[in-house]
Structure 1
Amino acid sequence: MKVNELIANRRKELGLTLEEVADKVGVSKSTVKKWESGYIKNMRRDNMALLADALHISPLELLGPDEDPKAADDSHGYYVDPEVAALAEELRTDPDRRILFDATKDLSKDDIDIVLNLINGLKAKEGKK
């Protein structure tokens, strides 16, 4: 599925109007329509993050799953442990559990580095790289 189709389909699945999405992202209704029609193919990163949040999807999905459709659907290929893959997918898709994805939204680069160091420390403690 192309990105513009993803945007339109997801908006409709959520029962949102063009105007509601535009308000959430801070753009005009016509801009959202242009994203959905494919007229605008590239968007600013800040708009991409806001649009993904409005549509309850990962910003990565807006980068273009056209390259390898199987890879976009196969979280097990990224994660070694299938249970971890299932948990990661739940964390990504469940709005009440997206804390790991949403936590960095308003953090500075230094704060994100602290979080990454903490995660790397936990992995080292468990003997994982």
Structure 2
Amino acid sequence: MDIKDIIKNKRIEKGLTMKELAEKVGVSEATISRWESGEISNMKHKGIILLANALDISPNVIMGWEDLPEPPQEEKEKVKILAREAGDLSDVQIDLLRSMIQQFKEGKR
């Protein structure tokens, strides 16, 4: 998996928007977008560390020196179910769903 895909997948997995991740890392939303598109491949050391911390992964994963650990099979099945259910939702509905999931995680619902 490419670094750009790792960043995007982990951001989505954590339920973060590009803007939220940018705020955590201290960069612009455009920078996150360029990292995820592969437009920027030479990240600064500090950015790698902050990004890894925000995504709860090792900097070695971002650098491509280490693979992401495989999620347990049960987790994979849950993700497949959610993906099937959300398949025909609009972008606005998906954003709302992400927000709701984040609120559940934070214990607000």
The two structures have a TM-score, normalised by structure 1, of 0.51
Q: Which has the larger radius of gyration?
A: 1
Quote the residue 1:52 is aligned against.
Answer: 52
Distance 1:15 1:44, change over 3 A: same
Residues 18 and 29, structure 2, Cα contact 8 Å, conserved in 1:
yes
- Displacement, 1:73? 6.5
Cα separation, 2, equivalents of 1:73 and 1:24: 21
Partner of 1:72, secondary structure, is coil
> Is 1:72 paired with 2:35?
no
Larger relative contact order (CA 8 Å, sep ≥ 6) = 2
Distance 1:41 1:6, change over 3 A: same
Quote the residue 1:42 is aligned against.
Answer: 42
Aligned residue pairs total: 69
Deviations 1:7-42 (A, max 9, x none): 000000000000111001100000000000000011
Aligned pairs for 1:110-121 within 5 A: none
Identity of aligned residues (%): 46
Deviations 1:51-92 (A, max 9, x none): 000000000001124xxxxx7369xxxxxxxxxxxxxxxxxx
> Is 1:17 paired with 2:17?
yes
Distance 1:30 1:64, change over 3 A: same
Moved over 3 A (4+): 71-74
Q: Which AA in structure 2 matches 1:43?
A: M
Residues 61 and 68, structure 2, Cα contact 8 Å, conserved in 1:
no
The two structures have a TM-score, normalised by structure 2, of 0.59
Cα separation, 2, equivalents of 1:72 and 1:31: 23
